Amino acid sequence: MTRGFYIGRFQPYHNGHHRVVEQIATEVDELVVGIGSAGDSHSTRNPFTAGERIMMITKSLVDFDLVTYAVPIEDLDRNAVWVSHVQSMSPNFDVAYSNNPLVIRLFDEAGIEVRQSPMFERDVLEGTEIRRRMAEGGDWRELVPKPVADVIDEIDGVDRIQKVSDTDAGDTPAE
């Protein structure tokens, strides 16, 4: 039995992520999807809560022939303990999937196998692009699985992103 670990912020979970998971599914029996920056929400870069992202991922993966776990991972803001933190929050895994150079280096230093996932650039671009389209009223539905669009509609997510985008960057709620 092989269990993989795939980390991202999934703001939101989109087709690029989905294709990566399809690829990983051919290599592992079980997959932990680690939801990074789980404590962040209602910001331009992290509009959705961890709970909302769990819903997006679980509903999108429901028909996959793959045991999956969607696990929120709060930031500790300490790169040096990040791998240990992830390991304590996640079911035990054999291999991590990432294209983020820092993540690769951190797992390397901890002696954990990392495989690069395909289609990385697309993956990164789409997150930013989808949020931009939402903020500007463009068409974003084609870029995400149907269940993700349903979650976003249910929470009036486009309005949230537009409100957040009107706020000065770096502002806390308190001005």
Residues forming the site for its own copies (CB under 8 A): 7-9, 34-43, 49-52, 54-55, 58, 69-85, 87-92, 100-106, 124, 127, 159-160, 163-164, 166-168, 171-175
Residue with tokens 């997006």: 56
Q: Measured from the CB of residue 173, what is the shortest distance to its own copies in angstroms?
A: 5
Q: Which is nearer to its own copies, 105 or 113 (CB)?
A: 105
Q: Measured from the CB of residue 128, what is the shortest distance to its own copies in angstroms?
A: 10
Q: Is 66 left (phi over 0), alpha (psi -120 to 50) or beta?
A: beta
Q: Which residues pair with 174 in a beta bridge?
A: none
Q: What's the CA gap between 169 and 175, in Å, rounded?
A: 11
Q: Which is nearer to its own copies, 142 or 175 (CB)?
A: 175
What three-state secondary structure class fits 50? helix
Q: Measured from the CB of residue 27, what is the shortest distance to its own copies in angstroms?
A: 21
Q: Measured from the CB of residue 95, what is the shortest distance to its own copies in angstroms?
A: 16
- The secondary structure of residue 77, as a DSSP letter, is S
Q: Which is nearer to its own copies, 26 or 172 (CB)?
A: 172
Q: Measured from the CB of residue 158, what is the shortest distance to its own copies in angstroms?
A: 12
Taking CA atoms, 146 is separated from 8, 14, 41, 152, 157, in Å, by 19, 10, 22, 10, 15
Instruction: Tell me if 75 sits within 8 A of 85, measured CB to CB.
Output: no
